[in-house]
Structure formats: C-alpha cells, structure tokens
C-alpha cells in the first residue's frame, strides 16, 4: 500500500468518525416530549416553555414527518422540541410581532391574534382570566330549540374577549383555561369540545381536583408576578343555571373578609349599572354583590372576583350569550370595571 493510499484511508476514517460524533451530538441535544390529552400544538409548546409563533413554525419544520401534513398532535408520539432561546417564559403564550405596540396571542384565533395596545390605562397590572369548567366538564347546559348551549364554551368566549380588551389597555394577561383551536367566535351557537386545558395540562373531571389545579396554576404565577406588577387580580367567569323562568342580571362574588375583593366587585357592579342606565334606561339593573365561600375565592392568592353572567336556561338571558356583540359588551364593561378599580389603587 502506497503512502498516498494510507493517507486517504486515514482521512476517510477520520471523516466517518467526525460525522458519527457530529450526528450523535446533534441528536443528543434534541429535546423530546409527548403531548397530554386535549393539547394542541400551541398549548403543548407553551407547557414546554416555548410560546409564540417562532417556536410554532420551528416545531412544524422539525416534526414534518411526525405530523403527516396535519397541525394536530397524536397521543403517545414523541415530538422534537425547538431549541430554547434565552428569555423564554411559560407563563404566557404571547409573542412579539416586531411591530411597535402589537403583541400576538394565538389563542384569540387567526383574525384577532395581533393585539394593538391602544392605551396604558392598565400598564403595571396583571390579570388571571379563568373561564368556568372546561375539558371533560361542560358545566351548565341550556337549550334553544334542539340546540344545546354549553356554559364552558360561552364563558370561554367572553374570557378571551376580556383578555384581549385588557391587553389592549396595556395589561399583562394570563389566560388560565385554554383551547388551542377555538379562538374568539362570533357564532350564535358555539360547538362544544373537550380540548380545553389548564395552560397545557389536562383538566380533571373531579370537581375539587379541577378547581385546585387552576388555583395552583394561578398561585404559581402570582408568586412571581407580584414582584413585578403592583396590581394583580383574578377573575372567574361562569354562567348560572336556574329555573327557566328566572331572568337574572350579572352577579359579583368576593371572598369573605376580602376588603379589596369586595371593592372590586362593587366597582364592577357599579360599572354595569351605569351601562344599563345608559343603554337600557327603562330596564334597570338588579345585579348584586355578595361574599361567597367558593373554593376558588378562598384558595386563589390574588384578590379575586367571581362573576355569574346570567341564567343559561332563561330565554332573555340567553340573548346575552348567543349574540356575539353582547358577549363583547360583557367583556368591555368588565374591562372598564377593572380600569376604574385600578385607578383607585394607583
């Protein structure tokens, strides 16, 4: 064997060894994770501290074969996670758009995911927006003809609208219950699903476990947020179920002995009353404020308010839910209630 041939063989062996180590090193650096039941791609990435569009697109590229042309996750399949960048936080699914004063929240849906910040009235405030029930539990169910109205879907739509309004006013918002597909919907009849998660975690069917899960998530976030934001508030949105003949207004509940919670609830109620006086002067407003020993009010660390939006069984109250402009009005008035309360605290 000539000297040149020997050198060529040595070079080839070194090249093979280099490529082997390089491939091994790259594959060793890849992080993998399996989705939980009910998770979409956005929720899955958020749970793994990779929120936002950039991570989403990178995930699609890395898992092209596993996804099989669909933007859906399969249980039991390990997916490649995009490499983490510095400054990533799992607390929010928001991402920067590169446009001044615009943030992107994919949970709002493709048409509304870009949120233009229009004021700083809630700058320095942080909110935990929680819609009732979700996942395996639809909550109260009403009917219009043969169409079922599910509490969790209507409460979730109002919650998204409220979250978006708060963000427009400069607030930081944590959307605790999430559905990666729904977005804000203008339909009268909102189809039911079991996709909702608690910020990426599957929602338990057991009531106590379900409530404990969302309070634990809020409290984990609050421990960090309270160091940065001077005003942190949680709001729990529900739809009541009473006899069909019982027309109700919006009710506001606060934790017993919570002075700040009562003040917030009263401010919310006063805001709604002024809006009804303006838009329906002959109707009047009979919404009330009271203390309740509700689990979430007792266990959530931030000052909290629990809002019953109406009776899902009553024909007149149903209009408050099925007409999208009414859902938007509810969100707008609650936002104004928060702004009024924040002004008193600042």
| DSSP string covering 134-163 | BTTB---EEEETTEEEEHHHHHHHHHHHHH
pLDDT 10s digits, 165-181: 999 999 999 999 999 89
- Of 304, 310, 321, 335, nearest to 236 by C-alpha is 304
Q: Cβ distance 150 to 219 under 8 Å?
A: no
How far apart are alpha carbons 313 and 31 in whole angstroms?
Answer: 48
What pLDDT, on the 0 to 100 scale, is given for residue 11? Answer: 56
Is 205 a residue whose pLDDT tops 80?
Answer: yes
Structure tokens at 206: 């057991």
Helices assigned H by DSSP within 31-117: 41-47, 53-62, 64-67
Q: Percent of the chain having pLDDT more than 70?
A: 86
Other residues' Cβ atoms within 10 Å of the Cβ of residue 147: 10
Least confident piece of the model among 31-35, 100-104, 260-264, 324-328 = 100-104
**Residue partners of 224: CB distance under 8 A and separation at least 6:** 91
pLDDT 10s digits, 227-283: 999 999 999 999 887 756 666 889 999 999 999 999 999 999 999 999 988 888 877
Domains assigned to the chain: 3-81 (no CATH), 94-345 (3.40.630.40)
**Residue partners of 143: CB distance under 8 A and separation at least 6:** 149
Structure tokens at 147: 């169409």
Q: The pTM is what?
A: 0.74
CA atoms within 13 A on the CB side of 233: 28
What pLDDT, on the 0 to 100 scale, is given for residue 285? Answer: 83
Q: Percent of the chain having pLDDT more than 90?
A: 58
pLDDT 10s digits, 113-160: 999 999 999 999 999 999 999 988 888 899 999 999 999 999 999 999
pLDDT average, residue stretch 314-336: 92
- Of 197, 216, 210, nearest to 37 by C-alpha is 197
How far apart are alpha carbons 198 and 213 in whole angstroms?
Answer: 8
Is 300 a residue whose pLDDT tops 90?
Answer: yes
Distances (CA, A) of 40 to 69, 92, 297: 15, 15, 29
In this structure, what are the phi and psi dihedrals at residue 236, rounded to the nearest 5 degrees?
Answer: -110, 120
16 Cα distance to chain centroid:
49
Q: Cβ distance 178 to 201 under 8 Å?
A: no
- Of 244, 199, 156, 175, nearest to 42 by C-alpha is 199
pLDDT average, residue stretch 10-19: 52
What pLDDT, on the 0 to 100 scale, is given for residue 1? Answer: 57
pLDDT 10s digits, 48-89: 888 777 788 889 999 999 998 888 888 889 999 999 875 444
What pLDDT, on the 0 to 100 scale, is given for residue 339? Answer: 98
How far apart are alpha carbons 332 and 166 in whole angstroms?
Answer: 9
Radius of gyration of the chain (CA): 24
Is 223 a residue whose pLDDT tops 80?
Answer: yes
Is 13 a residue whose pLDDT tops 60?
Answer: no
What pLDDT, on the 0 to 100 scale, is given for residue 91? Answer: 43
Structure tokens at 310: 């109406």
How far apart are alpha carbons 242 and 316 in whole angstroms?
Answer: 13
What pLDDT, on the 0 to 100 scale, is given for residue 86? Answer: 56
Is 218 a residue whose pLDDT tops 50?
Answer: yes
pLDDT average, residue stretch 328-341: 97
What pLDDT, on the 0 to 100 scale, is given for residue 119? Answer: 94
How far apart are alpha carbons 294 and 271 in whole angstroms?
Answer: 23
Question: Nearest 10 degrees: CA dihedral of 289, 267, 153, 176?
Answer: -110
Mean pLDDT, all residues of the chain? 86
pLDDT average, residue stretch 324-336: 95
Question: Nearest 10 degrees: CA dihedral of 45, 48, 53, 57?
Answer: -70
pLDDT range class, residue 209, cuts 50, 70, 90: very high
CA atoms within 13 A on the CB side of 154: 30
Is 28 a residue whose pLDDT tops 50?
Answer: no
């Amino acid at each position: 064997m000539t000297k040149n041939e020997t050198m060529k063989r040595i070079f080839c062996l070194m090249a093979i060894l280099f490529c082997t180590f390089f491939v091994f090193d790259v594959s060793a650096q890849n992080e993998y994770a399996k989705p939980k039941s009910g998770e979409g791609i956005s929720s899955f990435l958020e749970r793994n501290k990779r929120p936002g569009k950039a991570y989403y697109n990178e995930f699609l590229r890395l898992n092209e074969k596993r996804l099989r042309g669909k933007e859906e996750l399969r249980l039991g399949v390990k997916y490649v996670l995009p490499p983490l960048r510095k400054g990533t936080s799992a607390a929010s699914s928001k991402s920067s758009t590169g446009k001044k004063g615009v943030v992107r929240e994919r949970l709002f849906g493709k048409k509304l995911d870009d949120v233009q910040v229009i004021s700083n009235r809630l700058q320095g405030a942080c909110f935990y927006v929680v819609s009732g029930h979700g996942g395996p539990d639809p909550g109260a169910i009403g009917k219009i003809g043969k169409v079922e109205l599910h509490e969790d879907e209507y409460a979730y739509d109002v919650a998204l609208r409220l979250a978006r309004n708060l963000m427009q006013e400069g607030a930081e918002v944590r959307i605790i219950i999430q559905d990666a597909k729904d977005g804000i919907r203008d339909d009268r009849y909102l189809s039911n699903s079991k996709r909702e998660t608690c910020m990426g975690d599957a929602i338990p069917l057991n009531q106590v476990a379900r409530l404990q899960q969302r309070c634990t998530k809020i409290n984990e976030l609050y421990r960090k947020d309270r160091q940065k934001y001077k005003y942190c508030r949680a709001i729990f949105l529900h739809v009541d179920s009473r006899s069909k003949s019982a027309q109700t207004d919006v009710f506001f509940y606060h934790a017993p002995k919570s002075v700040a919670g009562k003040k917030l609830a009263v401010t919310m109620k006063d805001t709604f009353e002024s809006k009804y006086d303006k838009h329906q002067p002959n109707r009047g407003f009979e919404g009330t404020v009271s203390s309740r020993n509700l689990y979430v009010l007792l266990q959530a660390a931030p000052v909290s308010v629990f809002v019953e939006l109406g009776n899902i069984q009553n024909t007149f109250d149903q209009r408050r839910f099925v007409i999208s402009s009414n859902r938007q009005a509810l969100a707008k008035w609650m936002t104004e209630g928060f702004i009024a309360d924040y002004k008193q605290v600042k």
